[in-house]
Structure 1
Amino acid sequence: MGGIIGHVRGSSKVIPALRFCKHLGIEEITLYTFSIENFRRTEEEVRHLLNLIKDNLLEHIHDPSTLVELDICLRVVGDLKLLDEDFREVVRQIMDMTKGNSFRVNLAIAYTSREELTSAIKDAVEKSSTDGERPEEDLSRNLYVGRDVDMVIRTSGEVRLSDFLLWQSTSSMLCFTDVLWPDFSAWNLIVLLLRYQKYMLNYNKIKPWL
């Protein structure tokens, strides 16, 4: 029961976090929502987690006011064939509803970076470029998340990437915190953003966020 309550509390943190990031002018966020490895959990926990995600998406379909307020362009990335048809239909609806918006929010569901890379390599081979692009450019174009990321934040005291955005994070600042995601606040995020900002300002690469 404790784990289920934790998942519910964690899901309630998503919109406040997105609202804060939108306020700071952050343009794209990817949330590691459900790993392919999570399918190894108990049947009850897998069912609960997927239903929780699906129900949250359905709430925003029925009441899209928050999506409109934050101008969210929602994309669900991963091996969606592993999800049932009802879930995939919900994904199609919400992605279609938000495709014209500008604040890009990627939900990684049924995702691992190794699967993403395998899929991208297959696509790159099948659609091999003839315009002189380097092979890595071909590969990047076929990834679920095509952009390099500035920061990777890992909560809960784990000091590992857990197969998340391995290709895109080669030059990222890795931020690990002991704070559990359900307890992660705007202040925790500010501390990490200031750390990132200090690092980048030393190289005159960005303007201050804060």
Structure 2
Amino acid sequence: MVVAALEKPGTSNASPEQGDGTGPRHVAVIMDGNGRWAQMRGRPRLFGHHAGARRVREIVEACPPNGVKYLTIFAFSTENWKRTQVEVSGLMKLFQRYITKEARALADAGVRVRFIGDRVRLNNKLIELMDNLELITSGNDKVHLTIALNYGGRDEVARATKRLAQDVASGKLDPETVDEETLPKYLDTYVLPDPDLVIRTSGEARISNFLLWQSAYSEYEFIDTLWPDFTAQEFGELTAKYGTKDRRFGGVKV
């Protein structure tokens, strides 16, 4: 479902600063390792998911001191429905609990919350909570927190392409004008800049169908830390490391 229409901020790749120590404006995180974290402690996987949810607040609070304006987190993928019914049901209840518990704190802290992904399979109560959280935080601008829920990069591109095709069929869009700047306007993230840095916790080195189009020029950090152990300090170290990168975007220095 596409979020409410707004003027799209300039993308972080529009005027890249090369090697000047500038940190990432937009950080995306694949929050992996909750289940293993719990199992290492002899606890059920859902125990780890609850611990991981608590970690989110700390990382959101760490964004402004590190110059991060946009934070996108991967909460539940389109592939996660393959997990056991107990885990899926528990995660859906956790999302409802998290939104209910954190809504006021996020609003008061100046955080704007958006959700991306296909809401069709989500229950009505959860969708209502998501809509309400987006509404009560819509005037905030300190940190833009985007939560990917029932999200998959391929699914997003397929849904975007379908909407684009509908506009072509109805005469709203001239197919001769379609280029690489057109499709992003139909993506769930169309009001957001592309991520500068993508972090994946837990030691796995894959992107797992996350922000496939948007991360074409993102820097990636695959770290061993399990998500419930990921601290604001480590987040700051990774954003600082990004500032040392020579971002050429296909060009060369002259």
SS in structure 2 at match of 1:14: helix
Question: Does residue 137 in structure 1 map to residue 177 in structure 2?
Answer: no
Question: Does residue 124 in structure 1 map to residue 164 in structure 2?
Answer: yes
Pairing of 1:54-203 with structure 2 (within 5 A): 54-61=96-103, 64-69=104-109, 71-102=110-141, 103-128=143-168, 129-130=173-174, 133-146=177-190, 147-200=193-246
Structure 1 gaps of 5+ residues are: 204-210
Q: TM-score, normalised by structure 1?
A: 0.89
Q: Which amino acid aligns with 1:140?
A: P
Name the structure with the higher helix share. Answer: 1
Post-superposition Cα deviations, 1:121-161, rounded to whole Å, max 9, x if no partner, equal 11112224349854222210111113321011000001000
Q: 2:66–2:236: 8 Å Cα contact kept in structure 1?
A: no
- d(CA) in 1 for partners of 2:224 and 2:177? 42
- Residue 207 of structure 1 corresponds to which residue in structure 2? none
Q: 2:107–2:136: 8 Å Cα contact kept in structure 1?
A: no
- d(CA) in 2 for partners of 1:22 and 1:40? 36
- d(CA) in 2 for partners of 1:120 and 1:66? 29
Between the two structures, name the one with larger relative contact order (CA 8 Å, sep ≥ 6): 2
- d(CA) in 1 for partners of 2:187 and 2:94? 26
Residues 121, 56 of structure 1: alpha-carbon distance in 2 compared, 3 angstrom cutoff: same
- Residue 20 of structure 2 corresponds to which residue in structure 1? none
Post-superposition Cα deviations, 1:27-52, rounded to whole Å, max 9, x if no partner, equal 11110000111111110100111111
Structure 2 gaps of 5+ residues are: 1-42, 249-254
- d(CA) in 2 for partners of 1:131 and 1:99? 34
SS in structure 2 at match of 1:67: helix
Q: What number of residue pairs does the alignment pair up?
A: 199
Q: Percent identity?
A: 32
- Residue 81 of structure 2 corresponds to which residue in structure 1? 39
Q: 2:117–2:148: 8 Å Cα contact kept in structure 1?
A: yes
- d(CA) in 2 for partners of 1:125 and 1:73? 31
